[in-house]
Amino acid sequence: MVVGQRVFLFQLIVVAVLVLNHGNVHGLKLGYYQKTCPNAESIVRKTTYGFISRAPTLAAPLLRLHFHDCFVRGCDGSVLLNSTKSQAERDAVPNLSLRGYHVIDAAKSAVEKACPGVVSCADILALVARDSVSMIHGPSWEVPLGRRDGRISRLSEALANLPSPFFNITQLKQNFAAKGLNVKDLAVLSGGHTIGTSHCVAFGIRLYNFTGRGDTDPSMDPKYVAQLKKKCKPGDTTTLVEMDPGSFKTFDEAYYTLVTERRGLFESDAALLKDAETKAYVYQASVHGSTFAKDFAASMVKMGKVGVLTGNQGEIRKHCAFVN
């Protein structure tokens, strides 16, 4: 009898724990790997540092990888999957410049050595993005963890979900709202363009053929148009241009100054001046000592929660480019 009661009590506890855990599955949490892989974060940081200290320009594509991951099927590591029979997200046109996959793979294999099959590729992406930004003088933030990896990656979904550099303010707001991100997040996260480079094709039409009559975009500073024309010839698909010239390797608030000067590179950057709220944010963030660093950290945490898989959903991939 006593033994039977104990077994019953034990079963009750097991059920209770399962139920409680289930209540938790929808959230990510800080220190998620504390027990299962206590060094996960430091291993990822060390690996990232190894690359960024030698090539600071890698920080930009690594930040962008996390953004692209989160906007397509949620932050589930799907951007890392290689195409199989059908084409994956990473083969979509907006991937033109996606790079840095080797850093994620290196971090993943270092973490796998310490604790096999425990840490998701989606979490590694979120950590590497944070570490990259903080290593080039940007803000740092704590990354809630516990994302699981998805098994699906579709080229068509990347095209349908990623914002285009040709979007106007209405389209940008809609695109972010569809991910649960508000107008402030749009203004704040666009500040990611304070680092990195772009191919001429993403803005060439503003220089040469804005309305199809060989004209330029009147919302861009004509002097800047002239400068950019020297770098980008019509139809140029290969040349890279610094998005925040002079400080494209440093995470600062200079992007906002550029936008106020009508020197934002994309139509989507310039569009931030077309809405009262985003415009107000651009002007306040352009001042040194603004709240941008703090705001960016907060919006990154929010973006990192978009559509995540948790609990028993998805899997922990063994290799980030392939489903198990």
Ligand X SMILES: *[C@@H]1O[C@H](CO)[C@@H](O)[C@H](O)[C@H]1NC(C)=O
Residue 37: how many other CB atoms lie within 10 Å: 19
- DSSP letter string, 202-256: GTHHHHH-TTSSS---TTS-HHHHHHHHHH--TT--S-EEESSTT-TTS-SSHHH
Member of 170, 174, 237, 312 binding ligand X (CB under 6 A):
170
288 is catalytic: no
Asked if 168 touches ligand X (CB under 6 A), the answer is yes
Q: Which does 82 bind (CB under 5 to 8 A by kind): ligand HEM, ligand X, none?
A: ligand X
Residue ranges that bind ligand HEM, judged by CB under 6 A: 60-61, 63-64, 67, 96-97, 163-165, 167, 172, 189-190, 192-193, 195-199, 202, 266, 268
Using DSSP, state whether 166 is helix, strand or coil.
coil
Asked if 106 touches ligand X (CB under 6 A), the answer is no
Q: Which does 64 bind (CB under 5 to 8 A by kind): ligand X, ligand HEM, none?
A: ligand HEM
> For residue 319, what are the β-bridge partners?
322
Asked if 80 touches ligand X (CB under 6 A), the answer is no
190 neighbors 258 (Cβ within 8 angstroms): no
Smallest distance, Å, CB 61 to ligand X? 9
Smallest distance, Å, CB 95 to ligand X? 4
Asked if 72 touches ligand X (CB under 6 A), the answer is no
Sole residue written with tokens 């039409």: 205
Indicate which residue of 68, 102, 199, 319 is catalytic. Answer: 68
Q: Which does 206 bind (CB under 5 to 8 A by kind): ligand X, ligand HEM, none?
A: none
Asked if 321 touches ligand X (CB under 6 A), the answer is yes
In the chain the first and final C-alpha atoms are separated, in Å, by 45
From residue 215, alpha-carbon distances to 165, 206, 210 in Å are 18, 8, 5
Asked if 219 touches ligand X (CB under 6 A), the answer is no
Q: Is the dihedral of CA 165, 167, 168, 169 positive or negative?
A: negative
Kindly state the DSSP code that residue 146 receives in the 8-state scheme.
-
Burial class (CB in 10 A: 0-12, 13-18, 19+), 159: middle
Asked if 156 touches ligand X (CB under 6 A), the answer is no
Asked if 164 touches ligand X (CB under 6 A), the answer is no
User: From CA 316, how far away is CA 57, in angstroms rounded?
Assistant: 29
Residue nearest to ligand HEM (CB): 196
The tokens of 312 are what? 């028993």
Asked if 212 touches ligand X (CB under 6 A), the answer is yes
Between residues 82 and 291, which has the closer beta carbon with respect to ligand X?
82
Q: Which does 212 bind (CB under 5 to 8 A by kind): ligand X, ligand HEM, none?
A: ligand X
- Residues annotated as catalytic (active site), given as ranges: 68
- Chain contacts with ligand X (rule: CB under 6 A): 82, 90-91, 95, 98-99, 168, 170-171, 209, 212, 234, 321
